[in-house]
């Protein structure tokens, strides 16, 4: 039996362990028919990918299926999150039919954006409850960021490539942000989207634990069967252990996905959704985080937990309880047989792969030199500058810092717009969650979104924007704006009720 078909059997078994028991949890906030449809799509898409293992057959078959049933799906953004990790996002060229070399690259993320988010975008334009783009400050900052990026591209590349890059900006950034910010209208919609992400990530968590224990990366044979070249998705060891990657292509991306889902798990656990049904999902997220052996996501997930408790209800009491647990657990961990090994993996104090921390420090120093030379608009092909090539490892400069990557290529202006977008969304959420008209569940949602957006920023300063990383942070920026819209509506409704 081919290796990718053996991997398929394992993936299906692991997914079934997660998806079937989760049906009761998701049915509590949506219809059983909706869940059956999504789980059928997940299994069907996975089978088509592994059995046909041809990009255009996969895109054609799954695309036709999604377009056929998409009109019956109420929460298309939740469906997008549910199916996002079915296939690794390796790129495939759309041919230019003799006019150009190729039209654009398509991958799993862009494919789902085109067949799920794009129809949702047009549907939102027709909807009676359309909320005009540009009415919120983050909208304006996103538009400024996109226009600034496009302006730099038009100066630095050909007209044809500028058109292609403009298409990427629309599909990769604007669509996830817009559909999330305009389609999520109430707490039920948010719960649906959050649970969809948590369940999809829990499947990844189960796969990650298996990959760590068996030293077998299940999606690597599939990528080989597709006969595609992808710079990600290789075996990487840490202290003799294979780092799990699932369908994400890299261990730190896997950890990032699971950490973001962890932020939404914290919300679901406090929102009235069945805690008993959620517990196995939370354990799988935590197990997958450990299996990634990625310290940046560990720090981000810890930051999410602390911030969620700090801005949520009964903050002092819950933070005190967390501190007490830490005071008791830490000594027990240190005296346990595995204590030294666990500590060696921890960030800042651990000794395992300490060179990666040193490399990041050198990268910051070298990047700042390049940024000072080109502070406003950045530098084309900044990664090839002498300062950065001097620190390269293995002949490749790995920009393992999204903030630095933006500043190098789009200048301080681009970085400030990027940070201002997320900063204003987070500040707005922090303030809006205190609105008296919000329900307790809606306040918990605000605390979770604030914590998750902050944790995302913590993680992306340790990794470049590859694979699933950008689509999730743009999606969560949109979710933050949707929360601000919901809070504004609740306040307006309360004001109307107070009028005589």
Q: Can you say whether the dihedral through the CA atoms of 295, 83, 197, 130 is positive or negative?
A: positive
What local confidence, expressed as pLDDT, does residue 147 receive? 97
The 10s digit of each residue's pLDDT in 441-467 is 999 999 999 999 999 999 999 999 999
| DSSP 8-state assignment for residue 365 | H
Distance CA 197, CA 111 (A): 18
DSSP readout, 392-457?
-BTTB-----HHHHHHHHHHHHHHHHHHHHHHHHHHHHHHHTT-TTS-HHHHHHHHHHHHHHHHHH
| DSSP 8-state assignment for residue 465 | S
Distance CA 258, CA 294 (A): 11
DSSP readout, 67-98?
HHHGGG-S-HHHHHHHHTTSS----EEEE-TT
Residues 6+ apart with CB under 8 A from 424: 137, 138, 141
The 10s digit of each residue's pLDDT in 166-225 is 999 999 999 999 999 999 999 999 999 999 999 999 999 999 999 999 999 999 999 888
The CA angle 363-239-470, to the nearest 5 degrees, is 45
Q: How confident is the model at residue 128 (pLDDT cuts 50, 70, 90)?
A: very low
| DSSP 8-state assignment for residue 2 | -
User: pTM value?
Assistant: 0.94
Indicate if the pLDDT at residue 350 is higher than 90: no
Among 61, 77, 55, smallest CA distance to 123 is for 77
DSSP readout, 97-164?
TTTSSEEEEE-HHHHHIIIIIHHHHHHHHH-TT---TTSSHHHHHHHHHHHHHHHHHHHHS-HHHHHH
Q: Give Cα separations from 156 to 40, 147, 149, 303 (angstroms).
A: 45, 14, 11, 38
* End-to-end Cα spacing for the chain: 75
Distance CA 268, CA 459 (A): 22
The secondary element (H helix, E strand) that includes residue 284 is helix 275-292
């Amino acid at each position: 039996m081919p290796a990718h078909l053996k991997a398929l059997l394992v993936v299906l078994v692991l997914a079934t362990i997660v998806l079937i028991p989760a049906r009761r949890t998701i049915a509590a906030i949506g219809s059983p028919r909706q869940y059956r449809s999504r789980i059928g799509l997940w299994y069907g898409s996975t089978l088509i990918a592994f059995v046909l293992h041809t990009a255009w057959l996969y895109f054609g078959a799954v695309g036709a299926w999604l377009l056929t049933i998409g009109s019956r799906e109420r929460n298309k953004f939740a469906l997008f999150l549910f199916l996002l990790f079915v296939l690794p996002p390796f790129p495939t060229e759309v041919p230019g039919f003799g006019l150009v070399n190729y039209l654009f690259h398509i991958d799993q993320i862009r494919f789902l954006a085109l067949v799920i988010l794009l129809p949702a975008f047009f549907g939102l334009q027709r909807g009676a409850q359309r909320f005009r783009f540009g009415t919120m400050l983050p909208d304006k900052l996103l538009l400024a960021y996109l226009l600034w990026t496009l302006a730099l591209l038009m100066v630095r590349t050909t007209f044809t490539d500028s058109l292609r890059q403009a298409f990427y900006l629309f599909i990769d950034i604007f669509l996830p942000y817009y559909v999330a910010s305009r389609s999520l209208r109430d707490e039920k919609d948010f719960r649906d989207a959050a649970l969809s992400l948590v369940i999809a990530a829990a499947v990844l968590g189960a796969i990650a634990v298996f990959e760590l224990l068996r030293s077998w990366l299940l999606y690597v044979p599939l990528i080989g069967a597709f006969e595609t070249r992808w710079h990600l998705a290789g075996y990487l060891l840490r202290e003799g252990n294979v780092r799990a990657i699932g369908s994400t292509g890299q261990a730190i991306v896997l950890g990032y996905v699971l950490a973001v889902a962890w932020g939404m798990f914290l919300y679901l656990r406090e929102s009235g959704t069945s805690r008993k049904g959620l517990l196995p999902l939370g354990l799988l997220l935590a197990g997958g985080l450990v299996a990634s052996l990625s310290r940046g996501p560990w720090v981000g997930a810890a930051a999410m937990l602390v911030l969620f408790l700090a801005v949520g209800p009964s903050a002092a009491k819950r933070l005190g309880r967390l501190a007490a647990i830490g005071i008791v657990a830490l000594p027990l961990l240190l005296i346990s047989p595995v204590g030294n090994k666990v500590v060696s993996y921890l960030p800042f104090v651990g000794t395992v792969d300490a060179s990666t921390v040193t490399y990041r420090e050198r990268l910051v120093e070298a990047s700042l030199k390049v940024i000072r030379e080109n502070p406003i608009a950045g530098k084309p092909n900044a990664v090839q500058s002498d300062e950065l090539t001097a620190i390269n490892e293995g002949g490749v400069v790995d920009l393992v810092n999204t903030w630095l990557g933006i500043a190098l290529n789009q200048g301080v202006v681009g970085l400030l717009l990027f940070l201002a977008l997320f900063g204003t969304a987070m500040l707005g959420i922090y303030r809006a969650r205190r609105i008296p008209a919000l329900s307790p569940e809606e306040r918990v949602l605000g605390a979770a979104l604030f914590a998750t957006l902050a944790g995302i920023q913590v993680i992306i300063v340790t990794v470049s924007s590859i694979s699933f990383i950008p689509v999730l942070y743009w999606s969560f920026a949109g979710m933050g704006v949707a929360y601000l819209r919901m809070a504004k509506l609740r306040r307006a409704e309360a004001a109307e009720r107070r009028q005589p």
